[in-house]
A and B are shown apart, each in its own frame.
Chain A
Amino acid sequence: MTRDADTAAPPPRTVYVVDDDPAMRHSLGWLIGSLGLEVRSFASAEEFLRALRPDQPGCLVTDVRMPGMSGLELQDMLARAGSMLAVVVITGHADVPMAARAFRGGAVDFLEKPFNDQLLLDRVHEALETSTQSWAAHARKARVRSLLARLTPRERQVAHLVVAGKLNKVIAAEINLSPKTVEVHRHNVMEKLEVGSVADLTRLLIEAE
């Protein structure tokens, strides 16, 4: 049995709004806030980037045309930094290349102002869901890596041979150890990785790939 990553605290469901127009920014906050979500607003992409922690999950609602970095450039930058934010792009002036770029960059949706409020809120929900999932996957992977880091090189070697389905005797012959020593390594591996069976060990190693 593996313990899932949800042993860590679930991330706060935060929506980040980036729009240079103060009224638009404030009103978006008011609208999205009506869902009971936490909303944080920023007047520019740069201001947002300064305030953001790279591994923070959540939903980003950004305007495209802003002085300085545009919404699409912000989206690219977040993707390159491996951010787990899901992005909803809004614009007053849509064209096809712009939409194509937003979707290629992995946007949840690309909405043209004026947009239907229900549509926006649905997308925000969807974005939070996506982001939470990728955050959870990320957290799980991080945990597996930290477990594997506990093993000595010899133990890691033994672990892989065990997962390959080899008996202790065979392993012992292959790496020139006594079956007794292999038995000890094997025990340590199960202990350190907090797994109770070969099946669980296999799953964990695959996850770490």
Chain B
Amino acid sequence: MRTIARPSRLTLAGACVALWVGLAAGNGAAAEPPVRVGVLAYRGGDHANAVWEPTIRYLAERFPERGAVMVPLDLSGMDAAVRARTLDFVLTNTGNYVELEARYGVTRIATLHSSRAGASGGSIGSTVIVRADREDIRDLSDLRGRTVMAIDPDAFGGFQVAWGEMLKAGVDPYRDLKELRFSGFPIDRVAFAVRDGESDVGVLRACLLEELVAEGRVDARRFRVLAPKTVPGFDCALSTDLYPDWPLARLASTPEELAKAVVVALFQMPDDHPAARAGGYEGWTVPLDYQPVHALFRALRIGPYRYLRDVSLVDVAREHWEWLAVGALALLWWAVHSLRVEHLIKVRTAELRAANRDLVHEMAERRRAEETARERQKEMDHVARLSILGEMASNLAHELNQPLGAIANYARGCIRRLEAGTLDPAQLAEVTGAIAEQAERAGQIMARIRNFVRKRAPQMEPTDINEAVQAAITLCQGQAHNGHVPIALALSDDLPPVLADRVQIEQVVLNLVKNALDATVGTAPGAAEDTRRTVRVRTGRDGKGRVEVAVTDQGHGLSEEARARLFAPFFTTKPDGMGLGLSICRTIVEAHGGHLWATDNPGGGLTMRFVLPAIEESETHDS
């Protein structure tokens, strides 16, 4: 990002023009940070980069103004980043999404579309594997008393889906197993542990086994899949139902327009796009229904349904003590139950209160953030104004030096002659006249600057473009003069008036001429090149009868890149420019129903041109 230049003499050469009015508009669109996409790196950062970086690059290409960055995160990092709202979007697994949705109000805007999707569109499930030679484990119910390794308690396909399936088979992995181990990310270890006999059973995200086989890292014949299921259209080994694939979700704080634009960009991604191939998907589709995921989580009492877990001990107790004296238990149960209810109410009330506090806190924080942003905007405007004032002050000082210096010389000369007794009255009269004249000249400079600086509402009136051009040229004569660059005027004298705010148009011309002077002064002076060192200002009519003003320099011209961004706010080729001048000029010209553009000169240098509708046409053109 460009830094805001400290006020300095050359800063914003053109931005003398920077109308106080135009400034805010100029700043608004600027400096948008890149789109930040948090990506769950379930197999480590490198893998995530390989798989998702092309997708993020695709987005970056679709948002050339902003770009997009990928933020690889593990599960806890994801939670923290969403909480801190340092992301615009998250691309994460299904389970994590449901959790983030319930906790932070993230909303899915698109779901990955996979070639392997089943009829429901779902494509995520679990594969429960054992070593091929473990004849003793034939079904999920055989897991009781075995060692099971999964990826992570929070892994969706890598554990939770299988967990639901195990519960259905009557095995609670947290209670009935000999040992439940979690390998952590990256997840390849599960397959190795099963192969090497470190664990009896392994839980993998569906299709991961196929991926590992395809990468040549394991041998498919070494494994057997427990409780295999077939789902039409889904060709990976599977032990469970299928759930929707990864969604891309927006944060609550992400602007609506940005979310829309991102959805449009993703939906337009062709099936065979390199990003899709790298990500192992085939484009994006409308967000799928994640209700089955909620149902699963409710059954597992995890994620957003974790609070249900509090009841489970009682449930378990009830299951096992049913055969005891039913009457006594019923009494006890009632007692316990009412206590529980009260407790639950208390807990929920406390949670609600905490949530409320958080909300209030969050709102205050957001307000603070908004205020900070507003402050910064104001500061930026202020800096822009200061730098303009700085330049004006410098010009002013230089211009005033002449009459003031002359006055001093006259006065000192008078004193010396008085002392020497050589002052004759006729000379004195002449010189005092000259002093008065120079004082007036200084006064005129001040008045001109005051006129220029005064804040005013635009006044549209029939304006002679030549007069406006001449007034602007007068204001840059000083600079032209100092840089030894003559300004050549070619003003057409049969031009119709334009309906314009004369001061604004003067400021546009001033800005263009100042830029041209800066560009020309940059080239080395040399006697032979004298004709090159001229800035030409021409007025005339274009083919459509509009009034045209062209400012031509013989300076260094523009690179392709500079040309593309010429009118972008904060773009500048000057070492200490702010890059607001042309952006504001264009705003002004367009507000007048005109058009401002740049063309290369055949002999080098640049021509800036703008057209304004002539008054006799403005009635028909006005809409």
Q: Which positions in A face B, CB cutoff 8 Å?
A: 20-21, 23-24, 26-28, 30-31, 33-36, 65-68, 70, 92-93, 113-114, 117
Q: Say whether A30 contacts B402, CB under 8 Å.
A: no
Answer whether A93 and B409 are a contact pair too, CB < 8 Å, given A23-B438, A34-B417: no
The stretch of B45-53, B122-130, B481-489 that contacts the partner chain = B481-489
State how many angstroms separate the Cβ of A69 from the closest Cβ of chain B: 9
- 26 sample A-B contacts, Cβ–Cβ < 8 Å, listed by A number: A20-B481, A23-B402, A23-B403, A23-B434, A23-B441, A24-B409, A26-B406, A26-B434, A27-B406, A27-B407, A27-B434, A28-B409, A30-B409, A30-B431, A31-B410, A31-B412, A31-B413, A34-B412, A34-B422, A36-B420, A65-B482, A67-B481, A67-B484, A92-B402, A114-B404, A114-B408
Q: Which has the most chain A C-beta neighbours within 10 Å: B404, B408, B431, B441?
A: B408
Q: Which residue of A lies closest to B480 (CB)?
A: A67
B437 contacts the other chain (Cβ, under 8 Å)?
yes
B405 within 8 A of A: yes
Which residues from B are CB-within-8-Å of A114?
401, 404-405, 408
Contacts of B378 in A (CB 8 A): none
The residue in B406, B409, B416, B484 that gathers the most chain A C-beta atoms within 10 A of its C-beta is B409
Write out the residue numbers on chain A whose beta carbons fall within 8 Å of the beta carbon of B306. Answer: none
Complex formed: what's the CA distance from A114 to B420 in Å? 24
Closest Cβ of chain A to B414, distance in Å, is: 8
In Å, the complex CA distance between A68 and B434 comes to 26
Residues of chain A lying within 8 A (CB to CB) of residue B406? 21, 23-24, 26-27
| Residues 415 to 457 of chain B near chain A (Cβ within 8 Å) | 416-417, 420, 422, 431, 434, 437-438, 441
The reply to whether B413 and A34 contact each other, CB–CB distance below 8 Å, is yes
B484 touches A24 (CB 8 A): no
Residues of B within 8 A of A35 (CB): 416
With A26-B434, A30-B413, A34-B417 as given contacts, are A65 and B481 in contact (CB-CB < 8 Å)?
yes
Interchain nearest-CB distance for B19 vs A (Å):
28
Complex: how many Å from CA A93 to CA B9?
A: 12
- Give chain B residues whose Cβ lies under 8 Å from the Cβ of A26: 406, 434
A-binding residues in B (CB < 8 A): 398, 401-410, 412-413, 416-417, 420, 422, 431, 434, 437-438, 441, 481-482, 484, 486
Give the CA-CA distance A70 to B420 in the complex, in Å.
Answer: 35
Scoring A24, A31, A92 by chain B CB atoms within 10 A of each residue's CB, the highest score goes to A31
> Would you give the shortest CB distance from B402 to chain A, in whole angstroms?
5
Name the distance in Å between B329's Cβ and chain A's nearest Cβ: 98
How many Å lie between the Cα of A23 and that of B412 in the bound state? 14
Q: A65-B484, A68-B484, A93-B398 are in contact. Are A31 and B404 (CB under 8 A)?
A: no
Chain A neighbourhood of B484, CB < 8 A:
65-68, 70
**Complex Cα distance A34/B431, Å?**
13
Q: Which residues of A contact B417 (CB under 8 A)?
A: 34
Q: How far is the CB of A20 from the nearest CB of chain B, in Å?
A: 8
New A-B contacts (9) at CB < 8 Å, excluding given A27-B410, A92-B402: A21-B402, A23-B437, A30-B431, A33-B413, A34-B417, A67-B484, A67-B486, A70-B484, A117-B412
B420-A34 in contact (CB<8A): yes
Could you tell me if B409 and A92 are in contact, using CB atoms closer than 8 angstroms?
A: no
Q: Check if B416 sits within 8 Å of A31, measured CB to CB.
A: yes
B409 (CB) vs chain A CBs: closest residue: A27
Q: How far is the CB of B479 from chain A (nearest CB, A)?
A: 11
Which residues of chain A come closer than 8 Å to B402, judged between CB atoms? 21, 23-24, 92
A199 to B403, CA, bound (A): 60
In whole angstroms, how far apart are the Cα atoms of A27 and B404 in the complex? 11
Q: Would you give the shortest CB distance from A76 to chain B, in whole angstroms? A: 12
B239: min CB distance to chain A, Å? 81
